[in-house]
Structure 1
Amino acid sequence: MCCSGFLKIMMFIFNGAIFLAGAAILGIGIWVKVDSDSLLGILESVENAPSGLAELAYVSYLLIGVGAVLLIIGFLGCCGAMRESRCMLLAFFSIVLIIFLIEVAGAVLLFVFDDVAKPLLESLENEVRKDIQQNYGDNEGVTSLWNTTMEQFKCCGYRNYTDFEGSPFLNDHDVFPTTCCNATFSGNVCNEQNAHISMIDGCFDKLVQLIEDNAVVVAAVALGIAALEIAAMVVSMILYNNIGNKA
């Protein structure tokens, strides 16, 4: 009886942690999806983009899916332990095992980011530059998307201000976007000289930095959740067997 009570408490602790982790991941996924109208939205809007780019653009759906499933299994584990339901505990174990394998695969992909995602983004450079030079200042959707992205991430173009050379915006106004110049030039026009002196980082570098900075954190969180899931699976099987023996 004492052992069974201890196992239930452990299930509540492990699954409570999994539930909270799921809520956090779900929140991050929703934030990434909302934010995709800026930086990732640009990648989706480029014509002739590499097919593998969708894997980056749809990362928000993966986070939302994983977060939602973690919420479900956290609730399922707690409920199964409280009701001493062998069926619920077995379902919990099966789902957690599948999620665990997916998380391990995802962590491996994050660690090899430089070998997969970065070359993919680099291969996109010509298409993005072409899109800017043809549409920025002429196409309202493309112009608004770039303006939002550059303002939010404090970046300029894909690589730098030269990406806007030949664009309708530069041809019509003879200036570069204001985000391509430092704040010290805020009172002046952002001409070629000021943009060259400022040399604001391109949005490509900002995106790579953003992903690399968060890749280690996400991978560490995933491995921490995986450890909790292993412990929860072990406890659930012990509790499953104990309930079966009492029956």
Structure 2
Amino acid sequence: METLAAGNAEEEHNHPYIPYNFIQPKVIEQVSYAILAIGILIFLVSFLGYCGALKESQCMLTTYGILLIVILVLEIAAGILAVVYKSKVETETKDVLITSLSHYKPTTEETDAVTQAWDQLQMNLHCCGVNNYSDYAGNQDLRNASRLVPESCCILKEDKTPVSDTCTTSPNDSNSYFNKGCYSSVVSLLRNNLEIVIGIAAGLAIIEILGIFLSFCLAKNITDYEHR
């Protein structure tokens, strides 16, 4: 049994980014809270529309329509502000992301949602940090382990282990992506798929506008019927 346990421990150490990390309690808890919050918001808005139509309630349908208008206006306002204050938004976004790197946990025993998100981003986009590897300078756990970057910043082999054992302590162009920031990589990805992004945004806007139109039409029909 001890041999099996040691073998499992070694296997986990050699494959720090295997899907098992996604089912650790801390990751599940954090993701669950986020999904729960989003789910409650969607449920409340949808509940108003459903019950309003079912009970033929003008008040509920009107409230539903107004909520959709508020959501749509906020989305449009956010888009406009992001364009107008592009440089400030970029700076603030980078600051928030860099702050999140200080909470990165380099060991599998402490894996959380933030760590998993950064690992997957860095592995898939072949990048490191927000601007570059220096963004990890504020991570105490990495400093305590005498590392400059996590393994997800390294060039990995097929088995998801670094091509060089010195990558985390002495990163360079041949063993890591230490000078390639993830922020610019994400921006490039969005620009390369701009048509898809615009299509999704337009699709959501059309659905919301349709929901607003139908809710007010139904509310008006109910009012007209009651006054007959």
TM-score class, shorter = 0.5 to 0.7
Residue 180 of structure 2 is aligned to residue 180 of structure 1: no
Please give the alpha-carbon distance, in whole angstroms, between the structure 1 residues aligned to 2:144 and 2:78.
Answer: 41
User: Which of 91, 106, 124 does residue 122 from structure 1 map onto?
Assistant: 91
Q: 1:175: how far off? A: 5.0
Match of 2:171 among 192, 197, 213: 192
Where in structure 2 are the equivalents of 1:198-213 lying within 5 Å?
Answer: 198-199=177-178, 201-205=180-184
2:133 match: 161
Deviations 1:78-115 (A, max 9, x none): 3124xxxxxx2x21232123213302312313422344
Counterpart pick for 1:235 among 212, 215, 218: 218
Taking the TM superposition and a 5 Å limit, the aligned residue runs for 1:19-38 are 37=30
Contact 2:62–2:219 (Cα < 8 Å) also in 1: no
Distance 1:176 1:143 in 2: 16
Residue of structure 1 equivalent to 2:46: 71
Q: CA deviation at 1:221?
A: 1.0
How high is the TM-score relative to the length of structure 1? 0.53
Question: Which one-letter code corresponds to 2:68 in the other structure?
Answer: F
Give me the TM-score of the superposition, normalised by structure 2.
0.56
- The answer to whether the 8 A contact 1:93-1:237 is kept is no
Q: Which amino acid aligns with 1:94?
A: T
Distance 2:112 2:75 in 1: 34
Match of 2:171, as an amino acid? Answer: E
Alpha-carbon separation, structure 2, partners of 1:211 and 1:65:
29
Consecutive unaligned residues in structure 2, runs of 5 or more: 1-26
2:5 is matched with none
Sort the Cα spacing of 1:244 and 1:127 in 2 relative to 1 into closer, same or farther, 3 A. closer
Q: In the alignment, which of 105, 109, 114 is matched to residue 73 of structure 2?
A: 105
The percentage of aligned residue pairs carrying the same residue is 14
**Is this contact kept in 1: 2:163–2:175, CA < 8 A?**
no
Query: Do 2:53 and 2:61's aligned partners in 1 also have CA atoms closer than 8 Å?
Result: no
Q: Determine if contact 2:100/2:114 at 8 Å carries over to the other structure.
A: no
CA shift digits 1:174-211 (9 cap, x unpaired)? 55211112225823121322477534753444666799
